[in-house]
Structure 1
Amino acid sequence: MYRTVLLWYTKELTVKEKRSLRVNIEFDHATLVRWSPDGKAFLIHKAVANTIEVYKISKKPDGTLASAIKALEFSKRHTEDVVGMDIASTGKYIITCSKLNDLVVWDLKGQVLATIELHLGSTYRARISPCARFIGTSGFTPDVNIWEVIFSKSGEFKQVAKAFDLGGHSSGILDFTFSADSSCMATVSKDGTYRLYDTKIEFEKGEDPHLLQTGPWENTTTANIALSPNTEVLAIAHGSSLSFYSTITGLLDVTIEDIFLGPITCLTFDAVGEYILIAGDRHIKVFQNITGYRVAIESATRKLTQKQTSATKERLEVLVEDNRKFLQAMGEKCP
């Protein structure tokens, strides 16, 4: 019996006949999938075996995918379901974490670098920051724990040390995310609120993260969260619905309801923030980030009330006009 992982050639996503590479997972299925930073391999977490496998990718001369071959299987370290798996953008380490509060840091060959005992009651999420410097963990307790992964100047692993916490919620944190440059973080909690923090801090000197924005969300038992690359739009998936918030005003902009029959399981913005991709019901759907255009107008309008150079003022006015024309062409409301 086989379950599969499908790999798609993204340059063909707009054409009718899309090609994919089918990778069979023998007697098991993948619950989590992550690409390596160089795109030459991918990782899966196998549900039944509760282990990580690494598959090496080969490509055809035209750049399309040719094959995927299992290259490595990590030893089993978790007894409960894994809730987080990630690979650092530097390619230096991998993390896995189960709901049983056991965070494991691995090297790329499957050797354990560190094991961290968390104190979250039950762990819900574990992620690596885009800069690869930090690991974040959240769960039943009302804080996100941030850990620093430290390497020597020669590139050798040294330790994982506590960096700081994101506090302020009164209940467990369902999900959290880093901004593209790791300078901000957002959280969504069972207490019915989300929070946006400035995390570009000197935590070594005891400085705490600064709260930038907070607001209510339509509270459900599960949630997934994503920040646009410019941090101006916060997306929260709750059940089968997707809500977009302005981090400038803190207000809800729009909710798209009943996207799937079941819950949304994953979401992410593209690299420039023009689209948001969501997964559910064995499908992936792509939506245009319309909220981003409205928030850009709001942000530029506020900057125009401040003292600006003539060149900056002209650039902001053009931005406002262009975004308004786009929204009108799409039949969307303008601020």
Structure 2
Amino acid sequence: MCKYLSQFGSYWPTRVTPPARYNTAHDPALSVEFAQDGKSLCAILQKENTVALFQVAKQESGYELKHISNAVDFLPGAALKKAKISVQFQSGVQSGAFLYHEYSNHTVVLSDLRGNHELNRFSAAAGTSGKTLLSPCSKFILGFGDSAEIRGWAVIFKSGSYASTKKLHSLCGHKSHVSQAAFFPDSSKLISLSDASGFKIHDFNSADWQRDDTPREVECFPNQWGLVDSIQISPDSLVLTLVQHSSIKFISLRTKVLLLEIKDIFNAAIKSAEFSPDSELVAVAGDRCVRIFKNLAGLVAKAHESKANLMSPNCNETYKNRLLEELKSDQKKINELQKLLSA
């Protein structure tokens, strides 16, 4: 598998734009996160235990990274684990924004975008197994891992200004500790996993959680693939990935079948796995290395989706022709990739 992927040199640009740089004065930057519009980013500085905020400015010669400010260390007694520039939208218009801080003791701090003024803080989870999750739409924060329930909070803005953080009714239904959870890319659904109950999917479109109407469970299926370290959903919502130590399994969200497994990617455990925004690539980090794989499973899942849509009674002639063209194109890519795999 790795041999086949190493042949995809054509995916890399032949001319690289000079990189934008910023010297953090020997303070290790633990992670970086872009804002949704790509015009700014934040980085966690280990020694200062804070967030450095940058503006990404495009110049004729490339890009410039302008340092805006460093946020306050809101919790000196705990290590900062995650930070994100979070933006909410309503009907395509920005309705609110805040800086999200997540600490090692599962305390969540919300601040203004410059990180100077604290808006709210709360403990989202507990214990060594506790985990915290921010929805892609930046409206919901979840805490789980220490019990069979998934706790939720809504970050509420009114007229563009922060109003409150509301504790929501918990999502229940699992019979043992919830070990994993992930939002669908559009925040419309949540998939969660526990040892006793397997996978459950809650539909956020079916209810107004913020107004005490709890999202309902719409699907449940067993975990037949073993212990899972983390889960991710592709941006096109077709594929569920299961990270298992140094391997990744790709599951079709429609058919719940194993599409592909990449074994022994590293000698040690995988630290992180992320899809590219177009779902075509998967980046995997671990063992002091980053590897990028072509998402063959996504092509197969997309082909399955097209075939299912072709069978729909609502498929008119125009849509049918478009699906057939897409299916033909996807099948050609699959055949080419499989040929490389067997080479």
Using the size of structure 2 for normalisation, the TM-score is 0.80
Identity of aligned residues (%): 23
Instruction: Give the partner amino acid of 2:277.
Output: A
Structure 1 residue 86 and structure 2 residue 93: aligned? no
Structure 1 residue 285 and structure 2 residue 285: aligned? no
Q: Distance in 2 between matches of 1:95 and 1:32?
A: 14
Q: Which moved more, 1:101-110 or 1:165-174?
A: 165-174
Q: Distance in 1 between matches of 2:285 and 2:108?
A: 26
Whether the aligned pair in 2 keeps the contact of 1:180 and 1:229 (CA below 8 Å) is: yes
Instruction: Give the partner amino acid of 2:79.
Output: D
Q: Shift of residue 21 of structure 1?
A: 4.0
Q: Distance in 2 between matches of 1:18 and 1:217?
A: 45
The alignment partner of 2:27 has SS state of: coil
Structure 1 residue 254 and structure 2 residue 260: aligned? yes
Equivalent residue number for residue 328 of structure 1: 335
Whether the aligned pair in 1 keeps the contact of 2:99 and 2:112 (CA below 8 Å) is: yes
Paired residue total: 319
Whether the aligned pair in 2 keeps the contact of 1:240 and 1:262 (CA below 8 Å) is: yes
Instruction: Indicate how the Cα distance of structure 1 residues 166 and 286 shifts in structure 2: closer, same or farther if over 3 A, else same.
Output: farther
Structure 1 residue 106 and structure 2 residue 111: aligned? yes
What stretches of structure 1 of length at least 5 have no aligned partner?
A: 1-11
Structure 1 residue 39 and structure 2 residue 38: aligned? yes
Whether the aligned pair in 1 keeps the contact of 2:35 and 2:84 (CA below 8 Å) is: no
Q: Which moved more, 1:38-47 or 1:255-264?
A: 38-47
Superposition pairs for residues 186-335 of structure 1, below 5 Å?
186-189=191-194, 193-202=198-207, 203=209, 204=211, 206-216=213-223, 218-220=225-227, 223-307=229-313, 308-331=315-338
Q: Shift of residue 193 of structure 1?
A: 3.8
Using the size of structure 1 for normalisation, the TM-score is 0.82
The alignment partner of 2:312 has SS state of: coil
Supply the RMSD in Å over aligned alpha carbons.
Answer: 2.9
Equivalent residue number for residue 4 of structure 1: none
The alignment partner of 2:113 has SS state of: coil
Instruction: Give the partner amino acid of 2:283.
Output: L
Residues 140-173 of structure 1, C-alpha deviations (whole Å, 9 max, x = no match): 2233323211111x21111011235443334444
Whether the aligned pair in 2 keeps the contact of 1:172 and 1:190 (CA below 8 Å) is: yes
Q: Shift of residue 22 of structure 1?
A: 4.4
Q: Shift of residue 54 of structure 1?
A: 2.2
Whether the aligned pair in 1 keeps the contact of 2:203 and 2:215 (CA below 8 Å) is: no
Equivalent residue number for residue 152 of structure 2: 146
Instruction: Indicate how the Cα distance of structure 1 residues 189 and 31 shifts in structure 2: closer, same or farther if over 3 A, else same.
Output: farther
Instruction: Give the partner amino acid of 1:214.
Output: F
Instruction: Give the partner amino acid of 2:49.
Output: N
Greater relative contact order, per chain length (Cα 8 Å cut-off, separation 6+)? 2
Structure 1 runs of 4+ off > 6 angstroms? none
Whether the aligned pair in 2 keeps the contact of 1:101 and 1:122 (CA below 8 Å) is: no
